[in-house]
Structure 1
Amino acid sequence: MAWLLFTCVYLTYLGHTVTLEYKRVCYYTNWAQYRNGIAKFEPKNVDPFLCTHLVYAFGKLENSATTNFEWNDEQRYGEINDLKKINTNLKTLLALGGWTAGSKPYSDMAATFATRKYFINSTIEWLRKYDFDGLDMDWEYPANRGGRQEDFQNFPTLLRELLEAFEEEARQSHRNRLLLTAAVGVGRAVADTAYNVPEMSKYLDFISLMTYDLRGGWEKTTGFNAPLYKSSVDTVDEYNVAFAVEYWLKKGTPKEKLVLGLATYGRSFTLQDPTIRGVGAPASGPGSMGSYVQEAGFLPYFDICERQINKRGITYRDEMAKTPYLVDGSFWVGFDDRLSIYTKVTELVIKKQLGGAMLWALDFDDFRNICGYGAYPIGNLINATLAAAEMGVSVSPPPTKIPAATLPPVTGHYTPNPNPNPNTNPIGGGSEGDTFCSQHPDGMYQHSVDCSKYIRCVGEEMFEQDCPPSLVFDAVNSRCDWDYNVKCTILIQGTKSNVIYSTTDISSINNSTKSPMNTSYHIASCPSLFIIYCFIFSFFCL
């Protein structure tokens, strides 16, 4: 009976601690190869473990058929899909559309059954030929920008027929079904006229919100590219990321299918008067081109953080919008840094239990570690924050301290004791490890020889668990965190009978306001699951 009771308790624990498996969707752009110097970006620069879904942007729609856009796309397809040999869990998709493609070609294709069928057949053939795992529809936008009013219904019809064809092809080929996703505009006017949200949601595996480009150099006052909340000068609560998420949820998108778009670039302005420099300041146009991307009014993150470490300009933060901006003379740029990205991920993706986060785009992140935060500082922060949430723990916000321009990057690293006492057994597999949790209450305990691990006691059973990559265990706050926030010392060990652990009462986690995921440690908070598991696995538990 004891083992039956433990089975019930542990299965209840597992059922209650299972969190969402968040998607990390990253876009690779096929025109970044034409940039010069350190801004040049090719498939070899992609970290294959940074994302769960890697989207190749863009293919081309030509005469209602899918084809390549760049002259060397077919070579690049192979290089991108070869990354799946390194990370076998990686999924790749081909994106069709984008801003420059416009709407009319897609509107024409979706207008009739015959043209839709022709497109669907050509797309399946193209995706299978080049080993993609799915299609990402980036039609910008149905019923807008040259499209027809009927697109509002034709687009979900196209998606339904695509899904049906993907399912049939999978049955016949005995292969995994091709994925079907979409990237969508978030402005209220576009959302209302372009997208039949409840109908679309039936057929899509996930929907990526393009929650950026909300303000830019085309306007007459400075504003943020992607503020989390409305800024200190906004009179309407609409042009911000939180509004877009809520609006799409209210329109009928299942939360688990909604993926939050995050930008690795900023939008810049030229101030009319350099002495008037706040949010909402008068602007005469877009900011000047940066050092790496030849587009006025646009700066990749690595260009912005390079200015910061070289002390070019002053960085401010709008506390209402939770978003920074940098001012250098008459130059003004609003952008996302690691702290603002972290806040979006925790406040929206994790707390609202969305499907994940999307990164536009890989080539704008600091992939070469120009700024000293490590390669892909934005992408890796997203990855680590979501990985921690999946494990039911949280991480504290990253610091806003700017690295010194003259110093090489420094990364914290904790090394386990290379010569642990062979007579100790702190993590199970022997008498001390087997009895530790029988002598301590349920909770999380610091690992005695490895700061990146921790011990979890459940029902007198011990489970050794790893923190997500780049994180270490914080025994004070009972969570995995960035190494620079944690004072972790390899614990001194004596004899087999006095292995030292640092203990944390797990009940304190329930009162934490830092992450709602932490309540998942409490078996008692889910009695219904306890009853269900007990009924399934034993008739004797109740």
Structure 2
Amino acid sequence: MWSSSSGYLVLFGVFLLATSLAAQKNTSNVVCYQGTWSTYRPGLGKFGVEDIDPFLCTHLIYAFLGIEETGQLRVIDAYLDLEDNSGRGNIKNFNALKLKNPTLKTLVAVGGWNEGSKKFSLVASDPAKRSRFIDDTVKFIQRHGFDGLDLDWEYPGQRHSLENDDDRTNYITFLKELKEGLQPFGFILTAAVGSAQFSAEISYDIPAIVPYLDLINVMAYDLHGPWDPVLGINAPLYGSKKDKSDATGRQQQLNVDAIVKYWLQAGAPAEKLVLGVPFYGRTFTLANAEDHELGSPHIGKGIAGKYSREPGVLGYNELCELMQQEDWTQKWEEEQNVPYAYKQRQWVGYEDVRSLSLKAQYVLEHQLGGIMIWSLESDDFRGTCGNQRYPLLHEINKVLFGSETPSGLTDESNEITESNEGYSCPADATEGYVRDPENCSKFYFCNDGITHSFECPSGLGFDPNTKSCNYLSSVNC
């Protein structure tokens, strides 16, 4: 393994970037949210930045910051997020993951379900408040080393009532001005959006928002849950025959296939559309232990997970542990391509390796922009239930990239060789990179008079501007 010194980490990162560029031109994205409150979970459920594998995602999103009615950003957990007053410096550690994998992009998410909708509505409707939010956001991203912003307003035009609000139009203006504020610095702008047509058409003028977003993360989950009168699965890939009996037509919209087709037909380009998948299931308590088929009655939320501790929700890690310890009956729903399980009067519809493999294949078939995960801490990140950490995330990568990771490399990769042939750093040389004067593919790292020699993979040259290997057509050789 490489030394943990910063110089070697950067060198290692350059190699990873070079290999990633050479090995693939696959444009799929794997966008991973971390719910930062999971660091407070008990026992094996405790999940911190140190548990993130930076090679399994193309984008990592730090969730969440809040928004004030004035337009200012709000740090929700200053002790965890920041270093001030002996804080834990979680944000610094999160962005330091890019030292290991410099192809990784990190974003900060503002909003989320618990932040509500009203404050966003107030800010979006006021030019001065929008300007304050944009200014605050740019400064925060610059100060902490993020690559961009994920706007998670749930949802424009919904969940609040304000006189004369026009969220659907104001959302467009908000995104336009955000993009104008972020673009000069090369910062990314993404958004988490509602999914099903009957909801999305209230919130979004899809053709109007597309130009301002780099990725559109469609939250195609929570399609069914204990709020429904009968049993339903969290995120079915396809609809069922029973859906057609709904006179309102809403049930026919509550599946991944219908959601994706709506967004595409409404004007979202496939390459920007990222399919959100859940790493958790929705639990129910059956009205009768014998009635456990889809569409059966229930009396409300089911059990909580021992880590997440929210009634009606089980993370995959919590469920797989339960299934090792208890006698659950596992079933596969053929029409909808998703699993469910039950034990006595407890019932859960969830995702597993098979269902997520099918969703990833769907993404490839429809040439979508990739997959978004909510959220990392609910995978079996410790490998408690099998021989591999992050089995769900690994399966998604296998399908999208033909590899266990987007770059084909892991944290354990160590294939850089060093030599001093051809060039020697002056004894008084400052630490940094030097490109070979005769061979654009060769470069050196000088450190205290010591020369470390490297070569970009075939077809790539060292770019002094980015200090990484790049396509020769982009390198001034």
Q: TM-score, normalised by structure 1?
A: 0.66
Q: Which residue type is aligned with residue 67 of structure 1? A: R
Measured against aligned partners, the alpha-carbon deviations of 1:69-110 in whole angstroms (never above 9, x if no partner) come to 113212411010010001111110000111111111000001
Q: Looking at CA atoms only, which structure, 1 or 2, has the larger radius of gyration?
A: 1
**Match status 1:64 vs 2:33:** no
Measured after TM superposition, the shift of residue 60 of structure 1 is 1.1
Quote the Cα distance in structure 2 between the aligned partners of 1:329 and 1:234.
26
1:73-88 aligned at under 5 Å gives the runs 73-75=81-83, 76-88=90-102
Unaligned stretches of 5+ residues in structure 1: 1-16, 171-177, 389-467, 472-542
Q: Secondary structure at the match of 1:326?
A: strand
Q: Secondary structure at the match of 2:200?
A: helix
Q: Which residue of 2 aligns with 1:193?
A: 202
* Aligned partner of 1:215 among 208, 224, 228: 224
* Aligned partner of 1:160 among 151, 166, 176: 176
1:127-276 aligned at under 5 Å gives the runs 127-146=141-160, 149-169=165-185, 178-231=187-240, 233-235=242-244, 236-276=251-291
Quote the Cα distance in structure 2 between the aligned partners of 1:324 and 1:378.
14
Q: Which residue of 1 aligns with 2:440?
A: none
Q: Which residue type is aligned with residue 138 of structure 2? A: I
1:316-331 aligned at under 5 Å gives the runs 316-331=331-346
Measured after TM superposition, the shift of residue 288 of structure 1 is 1.7
Quote the Cα distance in structure 1 between the aligned partners of 2:210 and 2:236.
26
Q: Secondary structure at the match of 1:60?
A: strand
* Aligned partner of 1:45 among 51, 64, 67: 51
1:347-496 aligned at under 5 Å gives the runs 347=362, 349-388=363-402, 468-469=403-404
Quote the Cα distance in structure 2 between the aligned partners of 1:147 and 1:198.
25
Q: Which residue of 2 aligns with 1:107?
A: 121
Q: Which residue of 1 aligns with 2:420?
A: none
Measured after TM superposition, the shift of residue 34 of structure 1 is 1.3
Quote the Cα distance in structure 1 between the aligned partners of 2:306 and 2:404.
33
Quote the Cα distance in structure 1 between the aligned partners of 2:323 and 2:240.
22
Work out whether residues 222 and 282 of structure 1, in 8 Å CA contact, stay in contact via their aligned partners in 2: yes
Measured after TM superposition, the shift of residue 19 of structure 1 is 5.8
Q: Secondary structure at the match of 2:115?
A: coil
Work out whether residues 57 and 405 of structure 2, in 8 Å CA contact, stay in contact via their aligned partners in 1: no
Q: Secondary structure at the match of 1:100?
A: helix
Work out whether residues 231 and 318 of structure 1, in 8 Å CA contact, stay in contact via their aligned partners in 2: no
Measured after TM superposition, the shift of residue 147 of structure 1 is 5.5
Quote the Cα distance in structure 2 between the aligned partners of 1:273 and 1:116.
52
Q: Which residue type is aligned with residue 288 of structure 2? A: D
Work out whether residues 302 and 347 of structure 2, in 8 Å CA contact, stay in contact via their aligned partners in 1: yes
Quote the Cα distance in structure 2 between the aligned partners of 1:231 and 1:31.
36
Measured after TM superposition, the shift of residue 238 of structure 1 is 1.3
Q: Secondary structure at the match of 1:316?
A: strand
Work out whether residues 84 and 91 of structure 1, in 8 Å CA contact, stay in contact via their aligned partners in 2: yes
Measured after TM superposition, the shift of residue 199 of structure 1 is 0.8
Measured after TM superposition, the shift of residue 233 of structure 1 is 3.2
Measured after TM superposition, the shift of residue 319 of structure 1 is 0.1
Measured after TM superposition, the shift of residue 249 of structure 1 is 0.7
Work out whether residues 26 and 53 of structure 1, in 8 Å CA contact, stay in contact via their aligned partners in 2: yes
Return closer, same or farther for 1:111/1:229 CA change in 2, 3 Å cut-off.
same
Quote the Cα distance in structure 2 between the aligned partners of 1:386 and 1:202.
25
Identity of aligned residues (%): 40
Measured after TM superposition, the shift of residue 303 of structure 1 is 1.5
Work out whether residues 221 and 281 of structure 1, in 8 Å CA contact, stay in contact via their aligned partners in 2: yes
Measured after TM superposition, the shift of residue 231 of structure 1 is 3.2
* Aligned partner of 1:341 among 323, 345, 356: 356
Q: Which residue type is aligned with residue 100 of structure 1? A: N
Return closer, same or farther for 1:18/1:367 CA change in 2, 3 Å cut-off.
closer
Work out whether residues 156 and 200 of structure 1, in 8 Å CA contact, stay in contact via their aligned partners in 2: yes
Return closer, same or farther for 1:239/1:469 CA change in 2, 3 Å cut-off.
closer
Work out whether residues 55 and 405 of structure 2, in 8 Å CA contact, stay in contact via their aligned partners in 1: no
**Match status 1:302 vs 2:309:** no
Q: Which residue type is aligned with residue 358 of structure 1? A: M
Measured against aligned partners, the alpha-carbon deviations of 1:17-60 in whole angstroms (never above 9, x if no partner) come to 98641001000111111110100111000001010100000011
Count of residues paired in the alignment: 368
Return closer, same or farther for 1:294/1:18 CA change in 2, 3 Å cut-off.
closer
Work out whether residues 94 and 132 of structure 1, in 8 Å CA contact, stay in contact via their aligned partners in 2: yes
Q: Secondary structure at the match of 2:252?
A: coil
Quote the Cα distance in structure 2 between the aligned partners of 1:67 and 1:289.
29
Work out whether residues 207 and 258 of structure 1, in 8 Å CA contact, stay in contact via their aligned partners in 2: yes
Q: Which residue type is aligned with residue 119 of structure 2? A: P
Quote the Cα distance in structure 2 between the aligned partners of 1:312 and 1:332.
13
Work out whether residues 29 and 56 of structure 1, in 8 Å CA contact, stay in contact via their aligned partners in 2: yes
Return closer, same or farther for 1:83/1:147 CA change in 2, 3 Å cut-off.
farther
Quote the Cα distance in structure 2 between the aligned partners of 1:331 and 1:315.
12
Q: Which residue of 2 aligns with 1:508?
A: none
Work out whether residues 289 and 298 of structure 1, in 8 Å CA contact, stay in contact via their aligned partners in 2: yes
Measured after TM superposition, the shift of residue 237 of structure 1 is 1.9
Unaligned stretches of 5+ residues in structure 2: 1-22, 84-89, 245-250, 407-477
Q: Which residue type is aligned with residue 184 of structure 2? A: E
Measured after TM superposition, the shift of residue 378 of structure 1 is 0.6
CA RMSD of aligned residues (A): 1.7
Quote the Cα distance in structure 2 between the aligned partners of 1:234 and 1:379.
30
Quote the Cα distance in structure 2 between the aligned partners of 1:156 and 1:231.
35
Q: Which residue type is aligned with residue 73 of structure 1? A: D
Work out whether residues 278 and 373 of structure 2, in 8 Å CA contact, stay in contact via their aligned partners in 1: yes
Quote the Cα distance in structure 2 between the aligned partners of 1:290 and 1:23.
29
Work out whether residues 45 and 367 of structure 1, in 8 Å CA contact, stay in contact via their aligned partners in 2: yes
Q: TM-score, normalised by structure 2?
A: 0.75
Q: Which residue type is aligned with residue 188 of structure 1? A: Q
Q: Secondary structure at the match of 1:237?
A: helix
Q: Secondary structure at the match of 1:57?
A: strand
Work out whether residues 56 and 405 of structure 2, in 8 Å CA contact, stay in contact via their aligned partners in 1: no
